[in-house]
Structure 1
Amino acid sequence: MRGISFAFLLVLGPSALANEKTALTLGVFPYVTPVQLSVFHTPLKDYLAKSLGRPVTLVTAPDLNSFVDRTREGQYDIIITAPHLGRLAETRDGYKRVVQTSHTVQGFFLARKDSGIHKIGDLNGKTVMIAQKVSIVYQMAEHTLRENGLVPGESVTIIETRTHNNAMLAPLRGEADASVTGKLLWYVLDDERKDQMRVIGTTEEAPGFLLMAHPRLAAQDIEKIKKLLLDFHREPGSESYFTTNGYEKFQPVDDRAMKGLDPYTQIFLKPAGP
């Protein structure tokens, strides 16, 4: 695939590259490492490949901006993406709605249990690690800080990192006083590390991840994929996929929720500075 490094194709699985001409490309936004993405989403890839009778290649990108660029360039047939990136793909790039996950996206503020940080207001003069400024969790976290009287860059220092998983563990590594991560990653964190941390606050909620289809796919094919995904939670053996990812099932896309995501897409639509 042009513009997608061989390393990323290799890491996310060997999905029938010999039949590349007929393979569907399933792009997953890089909210965790490529290895973790492969573990999380290979069962879905295999289910689609078996049900559709055609190979499916699971790929990602080095960072969110690269994923947004590759989405715009049409390098993915189907995307699993953050809610605001799905809305951007729809309104700017013409992608079609397929399904959304039943969970909600929310940022959790975390600190070490042995620190003196017990609430968001205690972050005055502290450092907070958050993943990528263009992520919806970052945007919601900034809003939450301001609601608590803290000004990013002034009364609190934000350290940007590449993934939500990396941000989450920053206090344990001594790289920041606190961190913000998505609630799904917090829920699936192992007990040993979770016991060393506390939740000191949360952001507002947003809709779950969106699955969108490139408009080059035929309408009947998109409908077939939609039906397969809506039925996936009934498939024997699918429980581990939904448990691992923190989803209950896939569900139809909510129109009102989609429109509510527009403020979070503006960071990609603002004109570039001088």
Structure 2
Amino acid sequence: MSKKILAVCLLLLNLLSVAHAAEPLVLGVVPYLSARKLATLYEPLRIELERVLKQPVIIESAADYSFYLERTRQGRYDIIATSPYFGRLAQLEQAYRPLARPLTDLEPLLVTRPDGVRSVAALRGKVISTSDRLANLTLAAHRYLAQAGFVPGKDITIRATGSHANSMAALLSGESAAAIVSVSALHQFGPEMSGKVRILARLPKTTPLLYLGHKRLGEARLANLQRQMLVFANQSAEGKAFSQELKHDGLKRIEDKDMKALDPFVKDLKGLLK
């Protein structure tokens, strides 16, 4: 092989290597808010991931929870910020490794209008709006209402609207008597929303959003990523602001018991997917 041809081959190999190195990683965020809102909220984390992983990172979500779940199953996302039941499923069946979870648990709420129903019992025969039928909050509400003596679909209608914004709009317009939302999501609507709704019931707290990474990143990179995410969220000014905005109050490692506790809910989720 001539020196000229060898030089060309080496140049091509170098260009391919650079192109490969520049391929962006994908942070997939479960679509619990609008794509624009999620992009704004998770931008500080995206910047931190780029710094730690030394590779471009982009944020993606999906049109709905079903589409997001399918994209996760396909391995479309390198890192996921996902609902706990999706996270456990991703760990068990889709080659994702747990990284971190918020310090605070998720607190689901049933909210109504200030002049709305006065008790949970008064919801019988009425409509409750929610973001998505597969959302963590929706599954939590199913269990809560069943324990309160309701048969969802018979005694009460839980109607998925596509987003928290749509769910709240349905409540405020009178299309639903109550809405399912979390304390953190209500906070992210801003203080003006608080004056438009009244908390009807606080549901039992549940495991919050989970962060996981795909095993193709490699164990060493995942271990380093986990360490740096905890430092970012708990020690840096940017990370503390990010955590506060999301009502995470910081991040901690995910324990095995956290994940195993989700198994009954994963069973509920699979029942809905059939």
1:154 match: 154
1:133 match: 133
Are 1:24 and 2:18 an aligned pair?
no
Call closer, same or farther: CA 1:112–1:239 in 2, change over 3 Å.
Answer: same
Query: Partners in 1 of 2:134 and 2:217 — Cα distance?
Result: 28
What does the per-residue CA deviation read over 1:62-103, in whole Å, with 9 as the maximum and x for residues that have no partner?
111111111111111111101111100001112111111112
TM-score under structure 2 length normalisation: 0.87
Where do 1:17-166 residues align within 5 Å?
Answer: 21-115=22-116, 117-166=117-166
Contact 1:29–1:82 (CA under 8 A) maintained in structure 2: yes
Query: Partners in 1 of 2:238 and 2:81 — Cα distance?
Result: 21
Query: Partners in 1 of 2:94 and 2:114 — Cα distance?
Result: 44
Q: Kindly state the Cα deviation for residue 169 of structure 1 after the two structures are TM-superposed.
A: 3.7
Contact 1:19–1:55 (CA under 8 A) maintained in structure 2: no
The residue type paired with residue 167 of structure 1 is S
What does the per-residue CA deviation read over 1:26-49, in whole Å, with 9 as the maximum and x for residues that have no partner?
111111110010011011101221
Contact 2:125–2:157 (CA under 8 A) maintained in structure 1: yes
Aligned residue for 1:206, secondary structure, equals coil
Aligned residue for 1:96, secondary structure, equals strand
1:258 match: 259
**154-163 or 223-232, which moves further after superposition?**
154-163
Structure 1 gaps, min length 5:
1-17
Query: Partners in 1 of 2:127 and 2:271 — Cα distance?
Result: 27
Give RMSD over aligned pairs. Answer: 1.9
Counting helix residues as a fraction of each chain, which structure ranks higher? 2
Contact 2:133–2:160 (CA under 8 A) maintained in structure 1: yes
The residue type paired with residue 106 of structure 2 is V
Are 1:207 and 2:210 an aligned pair?
no
**50-59 or 27-36, which moves further after superposition?**
50-59
Q: Kindly state the Cα deviation for residue 128 of structure 1 after the two structures are TM-superposed.
A: 0.7
Query: Partners in 1 of 2:98 and 2:188 — Cα distance?
Result: 28
Between the two proteins, the alignment pairs up a number of residues equal to 255
2:226 match: 226
Contact 1:108–1:181 (CA under 8 A) maintained in structure 2: yes
Aligned residue for 1:65, secondary structure, equals helix
The residue type paired with residue 143 of structure 1 is R
Contact 1:79–1:212 (CA under 8 A) maintained in structure 2: yes
Q: Kindly state the Cα deviation for residue 50 of structure 1 after the two structures are TM-superposed.
A: 2.3
Contact 1:169–1:179 (CA under 8 A) maintained in structure 2: no
Query: Partners in 1 of 2:189 and 2:26 — Cα distance?
Result: 29
Aligned residue for 1:216, secondary structure, equals helix
**49-58 or 261-270, which moves further after superposition?**
261-270
Call closer, same or farther: CA 1:55–1:19 in 2, change over 3 Å.
Answer: farther
Contact 2:21–2:55 (CA under 8 A) maintained in structure 1: no
The residue type paired with residue 238 of structure 1 is G
What does the per-residue CA deviation read over 1:116-170, in whole Å, with 9 as the maximum and x for residues that have no partner?
x122112112111012221221111011112222221222122112123332342
Query: Partners in 2 of 1:96 and 1:209 — Cα distance?
Result: 14
Query: Partners in 2 of 1:272 and 1:147 — Cα distance?
Result: 22
Q: Kindly state the Cα deviation for residue 21 of structure 1 after the two structures are TM-superposed.
A: 4.5
TM-score under structure 1 length normalisation: 0.87
Call closer, same or farther: CA 1:59–1:180 in 2, change over 3 Å.
Answer: same
Aligned residue for 1:62, secondary structure, equals coil
What does the per-residue CA deviation read over 1:182-233, in whole Å, with 9 as the maximum and x for residues that have no partner?
2211233323321121111122222121111111111100011101101013
